[in-house]
Each structure stands twice: as C-alpha cells, then as structure tokens.
Copies of this chain bind each other. A is one copy, B any other.
Amino acid sequence: MPTFPTAISTQQLSFRYGGVPILHEVDLALSAGKIIAITGPSGIGKSTLLSIFNRLWEENGDGRLQGQVKLRLDGSMVDIYQDAYPLDTLRRKVGMVFQTPNPLPMSIAKNLAFPLRLMHIKDKGLITTKSEEMLRKVHLLDEVGDRLQANATQLSGGQQQRLCIARSLMLEQEILLLDEPTSSLDRQGCLRIEALLHELRGTTTILMVTHYQDQVQRIADLCYELREGRLHQTL
C-alpha cells in the first residue's frame, strides 16, 4: 500500500503479567490512517495490547515485554522500546481513551485544557476555541456548555466518557488508542462518536477495542480478534 505507509508494527511481540502470558509472538503491520478494531472476550488482553503502544503498562504492576514495537511518529518509524524516544513525547503523540472514563478532579474546562497546558500552550483564546470545538465534536457542548466550571467528576458516566474522548483529541495525535469508547453511550451517542472517528480516518491511525459486531461493520477498516495471545484477522 504505497499511499498508506505502515503506522504500527510489531515483531515477535510477547507480553506477560507476572507469570501469566497475555500476548504471544504477535506480528502486526497496520497502515496509517485506518480504523482498526480489536475484539475478543473479556480478560483476554485487549486493554493490555493497547497500553503497549504508549508504554502505559509500565506504570503499574509487573509486566514483561519482549519483541519489537514500532510506530510511525513524525514521519519515520520509531522503535519505542529501543530507541531513546522520550516517553512524554510518545504519549503526547499517541492518544488514549481508557475503558473506564477517568476525568481529572478539576473543572470540565481544565480537563480539556490539560493536554495543552502540558505543551506550555498558554493562549486563552486558543484553548477556549479548541475546547469548545472538541466538546461540540463529541456532542457534549449542549449538555455541559453552561457549566464548564463544574467539576468533571460530577458528570454522568456517558458524559465522562465523551469528555475523555474530547480530551484525547485536543492534541491532534497521529495515533489514537480507544478502549471501548462508546460503552456507556446510547445508540445515538454511539453513532455520533463513530461519525467523528470517520472524520479522523485518513489523518489518524485509530486502534479501537470494541465488543459490538455492528460497530465493527460500520466503521472498521480492519478487525482483529484476540484469542489465546494471538491476533486473528476477521475483517
């Protein structure tokens, strides 16, 4: 695929938690700009797989990783575990939405501004416009636009989930890792997020865990099922 270079590739990737093997010699090559769905039964290792691409598993527990993981960042392939690629830059370029929404214990506005704040962006106007744009994109602006100063932890489950999606989009990452991003949304909310992902297709590589076959049908370019530590392509 000449127009779409590889954005994510793994070689002989194995992962274990303590003694328990989760992934076993996974080889993967995913093109840039696609939406790739990952399915599989509960507890099989989908979330773990995602966290490998932004090295977040390192923050907790006693995981052990073997093999190579390469991501296309700034136009060239980087071996994120070998090359001395700075962790913080990596995580800024690879956005993540967690399975359980995790808004920060501050106001909604601050939650959205947080990623920009980390980048030393101080321009108030820019922050506000950008925040509103993202809120609109996840269709949250109508619901919470009038209480942007309220604490984000007081939002309802689905609102938190959408807020987290909006937050992860603030930096226009090249790669997005979404862990069941529509699990607490009703059908309509779900379709809206899918439309948003559609928009991002082409510019952003999206790796997305989902449980719904119909969702896969609707938006995924590719679909893998995780079974016994290996990925099996189903679409």
Contacts and interface: CB of A to CB of B under 8 A. Distances in A.
A234 interface: no
A155 interface: yes
A120 interface: no
Number of copies: 2
A177 to B, nearest CB: 14
Interface in A145-203: 154-159, 161-162, 179-180, 183-190
Contacts of A42: 143, 156-159, 161-162, 184-186, 189
A213 interface: yes
Contact of A157 (B40, B156, B180, B187): B180
A44 B42 CA distance: 29
A101 interface: yes
Contacts of A125: none
Contact of A184 (B17, B154, B180, B188): B180
Contacts of A157: 42, 47, 99-100, 179-180
Chain A contact-residue range equals 35 or more
A184 B143 contact: no
A40 B186 contact: yes
B61 A154 contact: yes
Nearest to A143: B43
Contacts of A86: none
Most chain B beta-carbon contacts within 10 A, residue among A101, A155, A211: A211
Interface string A34-47: 00000111111111
Contacts of A156: 42-48
Contacts of A180: 157, 183-184
Contacts of A189: 41-42
B184 A213 contact: no
A186 B39 contact: yes
25 contacts: A17-B154, A39-B186, A41-B186, A42-B156, A42-B158, A42-B159, A42-B161, A42-B162, A42-B184, A42-B185, A43-B143, A43-B156, A43-B159, A46-B156, A47-B157, A99-B157, A99-B184, A100-B100, A157-B179, A157-B180, A180-B184, A183-B184, A185-B211, A186-B211, A187-B212
